[in-house]
Chain A
Amino acid sequence: MRITEKEVRYVAGLANLTLDDTEVARFRADLDGILEHMDKLNEVDTAGVEPMTQVLFEQAAGLREDVIEAPLGNEAALANAPQRGPGYFKVPKVVER
């Protein structure tokens, strides 16, 4: 067994996902099988091999000119907000007064 239910709950916590008990059991089984397959990578010798983080063709073109461009604007940016105030996204209170 590569992954326990406790680990599944821990990872779900890291990922900010609420899972019910059925889901925890189901994902434990799924991940177990998948992770076993992932262990295949241990067969490959990668000593001295650079990790490939990106498909790179050229240096990034550099910075753009320092010229003011029209921003998206508050109204457009907030249009899809579940809850909003004037110029901000509203979320549940974080700090108890």
Chain B
Amino acid sequence: MQIASLTIDRIREGLLSRQFSAVELTEEALRFAEGENPRTGAYLRLSPERALDAARRVDERMARGEDPGPLAGVPVAVKDVILTKGITTTCGSKLLAGYVPPYDATAVVRVEEAGGIILGKTNCDEFAMGSSTENSAFGPVRNPVAPDRVPGGSSGGSAAAVAQGTAVVALGSDTGGSIRQPASFCGVVGVTPTYGRVSRYGLTAFASSLDHIGPFARTVKDAATLLRAIAGRDPRDSTSAGAPVPDYAALFGGGLKGLKLGLPREYLKDLGSEVGDLISRGVDVLIRLGCEVREMSLPSTGYAIPCYYIIATAEASSNLARYDGVRYTFRSAKSETLSDMYRNTRGEGFGAECKRRIMLGTYVLSAGYYDAYYLKAQKVRTLIARDFARAFEEVDAIVAPVSPFPAFKLGEKMDDPLAMYLSDIYTITGSLAGIPCMSVPCGRTAGGLPVGMQLLTTHFGEPAMFRLAGAFEEAGGLN
């Protein structure tokens, strides 16, 4: 069994035809992950006991003649900002190095209910803040395609595990691009669903109005299958949407004739030649498949970066206030007074990027600056959301780059935080509007680095998005 290239369907076939049991597959997956992980560092820890328990339950269900579930036997990697009961969950931070959650995230529960196997927890930028996974307190992750380069971030570990084959699918989180960008850098599929499509219960909060949990996979169909399993209303997350969850994977096929695609001129103007060329060739494939493509405008694009970074850091400064040495494992030894405890715990525990964002967020919310920055940014957010709403009256989906460049070298961009922020330009807009978006592999640069093409559509438009991506993939992408 070629473990590194398994799909959900192939696993199901293998289980139902008794080629292997879930336990056998899980044992093999654990062995393979153990052996291959040092190459990239994608996983922070494997969870063999939990994985084998879940595998045994799948085998038992099958023995009883029951359907083992849509994710039966599928090894799933989970980003370490997503809580897993009884399995250490660090959020990539010293502050939570020894934290063992007393409950599971809803998405994790649903993966297991669907028969999925939680194989382990993947490395990420600290508290999901970053675009390279270099901000993890536990070391960076290496891109499996090019080991001297980053996998992207903040869900770098999840993307790398799927690309490397040490997971079949993975859960990541996306606030400003943290699923789409690593998917692009590692050459896998990454989906950021509509805001509220997947419950955030058990996702360590970074920016509550922007956070999403979403799937990574090697195929569009597998991403769609995983999304369906985890999506849907959760009474534990009051922002989770009640809209029914379609059977995304079943809606594939049907051709793209007449589908109208928009190309935002603001996204294309500063695009570097290699990425621009690959996206352009991707668009050509979509045209060949029957889509009508037209140029369009998202006029507020130029204000998206300041808008995003004000809102995201403001919300983050609030969400990260809870890490104060009282409840969650780490407390500074220099804690004579309560005030010392708070300040020293946080001063010693947070990495530089988290501190920077907390400072920025605190500043924009502070008295005298709130109106000029935070309130202003929220109004600009409305304009950005309106841009998309207007666009989707004219087109069915938007095609865009994910990142201005492919995977950069480890250490290359650590000195210029603002430059890092500016590179998020293509992904933060979708996050601000709460619309679904995804990255699908779209060829490689001359140097062999993967580049992803982004598809965006209207709220709850995942079916159309998957249809587009699925057809693109079936046509062979750029091959």
Tell me the A residues contacting B by CB distance below 8 Å. 3, 7-8, 11-12, 14-19, 23, 26-27, 30-31, 33-35, 37-44, 46, 49-55, 57-58, 60-61, 64, 72, 76-77, 79-83, 89, 91-94
Give the top 5 A-B pairs by smallest Cβ distance, nearest first. Answer: A18-B347, A55-B434, A51-B378, A82-B331, A46-B379
Cβ-based interface call for B414 (8 A): no
Contacts of B68 in A (CB 8 A): none
A82 to B96: give the CA distance in the assembly, Å: 11
Interface centre among B103, B196, B327 (most CB of A within 10 A): B327
Given A16-B343, A60-B238, CB of A8 within 8 Å of CB of B329: no
Contact B327 A80 (CB under 8 A): yes
A83 to B358: give the CA distance in the assembly, Å: 26
Given A80-B328, A82-B331, CB of A49 within 8 Å of CB of B383: yes
Contacts of A7 in B (CB 8 A): 363
Q: In angstroms, how far is the closest chain A Cβ from the Cβ of B432?
A: 8
Using a CB-CB cutoff of 8 Å, which residues 55-112 of chain B contact chain A? Answer: 98-100, 102-103
- A interface, by DSSP: helix, strand, loop or mixed? loop
Contacts of B417 in A (CB 8 A): 30, 34
Interface centre among A8, A42, A54 (most CB of B within 10 A): A54
Candidates B102, B242, B336; contact of A79 at CB < 8 Å = B102
Given A11-B359, A38-B306, CB of A18 within 8 Å of CB of B343: yes
Contacts of A76 in B (CB 8 A): 102
Given A19-B355, A44-B380, CB of A83 within 8 Å of CB of B331: yes
Q: In angstroms, how far is the closest chain A Cβ from the Cβ of B373?
A: 6
Q: In angstroms, how far is the closest chain A Cβ from the Cβ of B258?
A: 28
Given A38-B306, A46-B376, A57-B243, CB of A11 within 8 Å of CB of B362: yes
Contact B241 A81 (CB under 8 A): no
A3 to B417: give the CA distance in the assembly, Å: 17
Contact A41 B307 (CB under 8 A): yes
Using a CB-CB cutoff of 8 Å, which residues 322-361 of chain B contact chain A? Answer: 324-331, 335-344, 346-348, 350, 352, 355-356, 358-360
Contact A38 B341 (CB under 8 A): no
Contacts of B338 in A (CB 8 A): 91-94
Cβ-based interface call for B385 (8 A): yes
Q: Offer 12 A-B interface pairs, CB within 8 angstroms, sorted by A.
A: A17-B346, A31-B360, A33-B418, A38-B309, A41-B310, A41-B376, A51-B375, A52-B382, A55-B434, A91-B326, A92-B337, A94-B338
Given A12-B359, A37-B418, A82-B329, CB of A58 within 8 Å of CB of B242: yes
Tell me the B residues contacting A by CB distance below 8 Å. 98-100, 102-103, 195-196, 209, 233, 235, 238-239, 241-243, 300, 302-303, 305-307, 309-310, 317, 321, 324-331, 335-344, 346-348, 350, 352, 355-356, 358-360, 362-364, 366, 373, 375-383, 385, 417-418, 421-422, 433-434, 459
Given A17-B355, A30-B417, A57-B459, CB of A43 within 8 Å of CB of B303: yes
Contact A82 B330 (CB under 8 A): yes
Contact B382 A61 (CB under 8 A): no
CB-based nearest B residue for A40: B306
Q: In angstroms, how far is the closest chain B Cβ from the Cβ of A77?
A: 7
Contacts of A14 in B (CB 8 A): 362, 366
CB-based nearest A residue for B421: A34
Contact A16 B321 (CB under 8 A): yes
Q: In angstroms, how far is the closest chain A Cβ from the Cβ of B304?
A: 10
Q: In angstroms, how far is the closest chain A Cβ from the Cβ of B447?
A: 30
Contact A31 B363 (CB under 8 A): yes
Contact B326 A89 (CB under 8 A): yes
Candidates B239, B331, B377; contact of A41 at CB < 8 Å = B377
Contact B380 A57 (CB under 8 A): no
A15 to B356: give the CA distance in the assembly, Å: 11
